[in-house]
Structure 1
């Protein structure tokens, strides 16, 4: 594999072009690494009295009840207003997975999966946080985990 960098001071914005004969596993991996590295890696959480900026790796899970979002972080739980749909658009889809209508988990915070009721599962997260995983969302979680 050849790598070449060309500098062009006339360009208004950076552009990365990858040329390949085929979309091999190596090329796909490089594209994924670049996309992840350039993606936004933190989120603004507007609480009642302030707006907290949290890196994605600090967020363990997010739950919604009505229009109240609870962010479970490494140190604390933060409460904000909004919808899960709105938050999912801001998160890294390779790192965060929706596991029920009410819950999203950070795969890096997942410690284990336990059997729940009626074919559902319970995700055991850092800080001992337990998040329900519904049967409907379980196949997608398993896909992300390579199961």
Structure 2
């Protein structure tokens, strides 16, 4: 891999260009790392007419209920004025989707419990259990680096 840095004082922002003969998993990981550098550290959460700036590290889960999206911290719950997929894209490095309507913060995950009849639950550090859909289990394992698909 060849790395080149060009400093141009006429630019107003940093640009990263990747030139590659093919799209590989390494390229995808590199792009992911570069995108996470720009990840915000807070998100705006609403309770009635008050806007709170919630630190991402305080969020345990993000879920959609009807047309609304909520973030859960250890003590509070806030409405978010974004779609679930927008929050997922914004915080792709820290969160993973575990079912159709829920994202969990990877740093808040304590264990994965395999239940009878094929049910699987994510247990968060605040004691909350969230159902993991089979559809999203592979991505969760990949993000955690576990199982056959983990590395």
What's the TM-score, normalizing by structure 2? 0.72
CA–CA distance in structure 2, aligned partners of residues 118 and 15 of structure 1: 50
Deviation at 1:10, TM superposition (A): 2.1
Cα pair distance change 1:98/1:126, threshold 3 Å: same
The aligned runs of 1:32-51 (5 Å cut-off) are: 32-51=32-51
CA–CA distance in structure 2, aligned partners of residues 28 and 136 of structure 1: 21
Counterpart secondary structure, 1:128? coil
| Structure 2: stretches of 5+ with no match in the other structure | 147-151
CA–CA distance in structure 2, aligned partners of residues 15 and 47 of structure 1: 37
Counterpart secondary structure, 2:62? strand
Instruction: Tell me the equivalent position of 1:10.
Output: 10
What's the TM-score, normalizing by structure 1? 0.74
The aligned runs of 1:25-64 (5 Å cut-off) are: 32-64=32-64
Deviation at 1:39, TM superposition (A): 2.4
Cα pair distance change 1:136/1:6, threshold 3 Å: closer
Query: Could you say what the CA RMSD is over the residues aligned between the two structures, in angstroms?
Result: 3.2
Cα pair distance change 1:80/1:42, threshold 3 Å: closer
Cα pair distance change 1:45/1:115, threshold 3 Å: same
Instruction: Tell me the equivalent position of 2:138.
Output: 139
Cα pair distance change 1:115/1:30, threshold 3 Å: closer
Worse overlay, 38-47 or 10-19: 10-19
CA contact (8 A) 2:61 2:102 kept: yes
Cα pair distance change 1:68/1:14, threshold 3 Å: closer
Instruction: Tell me the equivalent position of 1:121.
Output: 120
| Structure 1: stretches of 5+ with no match in the other structure | none
Instruction: Tell me the equivalent position of 2:109.
Output: 110
Instruction: Tell me the equivalent position of 2:99.
Output: 100
Instruction: Tell me the equivalent position of 1:76.
Output: 76
Cα pair distance change 1:27/1:134, threshold 3 Å: closer
Counterpart secondary structure, 2:117? coil
